[in-house]
Amino acid sequence: MKRPSETPCETALERLEAFVDGDLAAVEAAAVEAHLSGCGDCAAERALALAVRRELRAFPELDAPSAVLAEISRGAERARFRRRVRVWQRPVRTRAVAAVFAALVIGAGLWWGRLLQAPVEHPPLADAAAVAQATEEARYALAYLTRVHRRAGLKLRDDLFVERVARPSARSLARSLSPGLRTDAGGEGGSDSDRS
């Protein structure tokens, strides 16, 4: 865009390269063309601009010397060889660090695997109240047996009976009914009351 202070020559020269390249809009190009046709200095500038562009485009593209290309090929071969050697000749410290790291990774993997395989808490097959009731019934049955034995003239020591028969049976019963429950929970509740 033309600035207010610009002379027509400045405006034309400002746009000259774009004009030469055909990058101006039609209206702007026509204005520049009109100025160039009436201004010798600016027309000479256009001729110089065209000469510069023409000569630049006449500069040839150049091939790299064959010795350079051969050196590039050799350099690539050397780099490939060095890369292979580096893989096998890594410093001992690097390899040691790699080994420790690998061991840590494997160890962590095994530990995690064991965690995953740890027994899960199954829901109890029977609740604590049912276990306690069953235990009481068993004790009652055993006490009844004891009484029958006494009547029959046999003498059984209650404490021995409770300790060696009633309590282990109650424990076993509780364990089999509920693997998640503590085995001694049901055994202690009625130990004294069993004595008749």
Partner 1 sequence: MVSGFDAAVQRHQRKVYTFARYYLGQAEEAEDITQEVFLKLWRHSPELDVEATRAWLLTVTRNACYDRLRRRRSSAKVFADDPEESATEKVSAVEPGPEARAAAADFRRHLKSALKQLKDPMKSIVILREIQGLKYDEIAGVLGVPLNTVRVYLHRGRARLRRELKEVYGHEAAL
The contact set with partner 1 (CB under 8 A) reads: 13, 16-18, 21, 23, 41, 44-45, 47-53, 55-65, 68-69, 71-73, 75-77, 79-80
Nearer to partner 1, 59 or 154 (CB): 59
Nearer to partner 1, 56 or 154 (CB): 56
Cα-Cα-Cα-Cα dihedral sign, residues 141, 147, 152, 154? positive
Question: Smallest distance from the beta carbon of 98 to partner 1, in angstroms?
Answer: 23
Question: Smallest distance from the beta carbon of 53 to partner 1, in angstroms?
Answer: 6
Nearer to partner 1, 81 or 112 (CB): 81
Cα–Cα distance for residue pair 183/175, rounded to 1 Å: 6
Nearer to partner 1, 51 or 148 (CB): 51
Question: Smallest distance from the beta carbon of 112 to partner 1, in angstroms?
Answer: 35
Distances (CA, A) of 21 to 15, 16, 50, 57: 10, 9, 9, 13
Cα–Cα distance for residue pair 196/188, rounded to 1 Å: 16
Question: Smallest distance from the beta carbon of 30 to partner 1, in angstroms?
Answer: 19
Nearer to partner 1, 18 or 165 (CB): 18
Place of tokens 């207010």: 4
SS3 for 85-135, per residue? HHHHCCCHHHHHHHHHHHHHHHHHHHHHHHHHHCCCCCCCCCCHHHHHHHH
Question: Smallest distance from the beta carbon of 20 to partner 1, in angstroms?
Answer: 8
